[in-house]
Amino acid sequence: MTAMPSIDFFSADEVRELLTFDTAIGALESALAAGLSPEDDGPRLFADAPDGEFLLMPAQSAKFSGVKALTIAPSNPDRGLEKIQGLYLLYSSDTLAPIAVMEGSCLTAIRTPSVTLTAIRHLARLAPEGARLGSDPRILLFGAGTQAIEHIRAALVDFPDATFEVVGRRPERVAAMIAELAADPATAHVRVAAATDDDAAVAAADIIILTTTATSPVFDGSLVADNAIVAATGTHGLDAREVDDALVGRADVAVEGRASARRENGNLATVFDDAKWESSPPANLQDLVRGNFTRTLGRPAFYTGVGMSWEDLVCASAVYTARQRP
């Protein structure tokens, strides 16, 4: 029997060094443009854990396969701990031998905003005349955790001159997030402030990004500006949602993947019944990247995702490949 090949380990710092947001967005776009279909992704696997959940996310491609093994601890943020923790295990698809282990929380912290900003990038590019965004949109964030701050960093790839407002349940966490951005030389120039009037901020925003753990809508969808882009990525499960039917009903809708959205996305659960899923399914992320989506002047664009296994595999593959290059 031959000896098992060595297994590379990638720390959180190494993942962040090798997987910039620009790199991750480019890898996701390339995979989708080359034919990767979100509809081929299998379901995520959940199991009970003490005061939380285990989450397993397997995926495969011609060259690499992998599985992300995570825990989700909803009470951790209140204890100053990460809500999501875990590892990514990467395998050779040829031999099914393990070839790498990666810190999974950092991978997730980069992957999720990269997917969101891939969607926002293409929704912005597909905007009709009269609804185009420049490099300096007003971006409103709901949430003040890891995903909120990383979505701000990711948004700077396409919108380097954007101004940001943040809405959070706990003012001290919003203040801490703003202070962290100000202390980082890479983001010290970013204009970000706590929203003082939530309704006014919603109405004024060009882009709204939701990264909350809410189980019910966090704003009135009728306030969203015509032609604004809204992206909801914080919740999963048909009984949890961040936006209301008022927004979904008046928006051009796109999803990460149709099967995953039908199975897990509560933002669409009441507007998209079985008949509508069959007769008028929304576009998915591959459609956006390939330009197969039409935006309507005077209507918001709404993108919503729950997180899919293929996204982690694409990002983990990019990390591994980056280290292997001479």
pLDDT of residue 1: 56
Across the range 223-252, mean pLDDT stands at 94
At residue 53, φ and ψ (nearest 5 deg) are: -140, 150
Q: Coil, strand or helix: which one is 230? A: strand
For all residues of the chain together, what is the average pLDDT? 94
Cβ–Cβ under 8 Å, residues 70 and 312: no
Cβ–Cβ under 8 Å, residues 209 and 234: no
On the question of pLDDT at 236 being above 90, the answer is no
pLDDT of residue 77: 81
Partners of 56 in beta bridges = 45, 69
Across the range 90-107, mean pLDDT stands at 95
pLDDT of residue 3: 61
Please give the residue that has the higher pLDDT: either 44 or 240: 240
* Confidence class for position 314, pLDDT limits 50, 70, 90: very high
pTM for the full model? Answer: 0.94
Handedness of CA 119, 121, 124, 126 (dihedral sign): negative
Pair of tokens at residue 132: 């185009």
Pair of tokens at residue 96: 């099914």
- Residue 12, Cβ density class (10 Å: 0-12 exposed, 13-18 middle, ≥19 buried): middle
On the question of pLDDT at 170 being above 80, the answer is yes
Strand order in the sheet with 229-232: 191-194, 163-167, 138-142, 207-210, 229-232, 301-304, 252-255
Across the range 304-326, mean pLDDT stands at 91
* Confidence class for position 257, pLDDT limits 50, 70, 90: very high
CA nearest to 253, candidates 202, 300, 206, 307: 300
Q: All domains of the chain, ordered by start, with CATH?
A: 8-107+310-324 (3.30.1780.10), 130-307 (3.40.50.720)
Pair of tokens at residue 131: 């609804």
Across the range 275-281, mean pLDDT stands at 94
Cβ–Cβ under 8 Å, residues 91 and 64: yes
CA nearest to 295, candidates 205, 207, 224, 227: 227
Across the range 207-223, mean pLDDT stands at 95
Cβ–Cβ under 8 Å, residues 231 and 211: no
pLDDT of residue 84: 82
pLDDT of residue 325: 60
Cα distance between the two ends of the chain: 30
On the question of pLDDT at 4 being above 80, the answer is no
15-51: per-residue pLDDT in tens?
999 999 999 999 999 999 999 999 999 888 989 999 8
Pair of tokens at residue 263: 């199975």
At residue 205, φ and ψ (nearest 5 deg) are: -75, 140
Query: Which residues 6+ apart lie within 8 Å of 196 measured at CB?
Result: none
Partners of 192 in beta bridges = 164
pLDDT of residue 135: 86
| 115/94 Cα distance (integer angstroms) | 27
Please give the residue that has the higher pLDDT: either 180 or 76: 180
On the question of pLDDT at 137 being above 60, the answer is yes
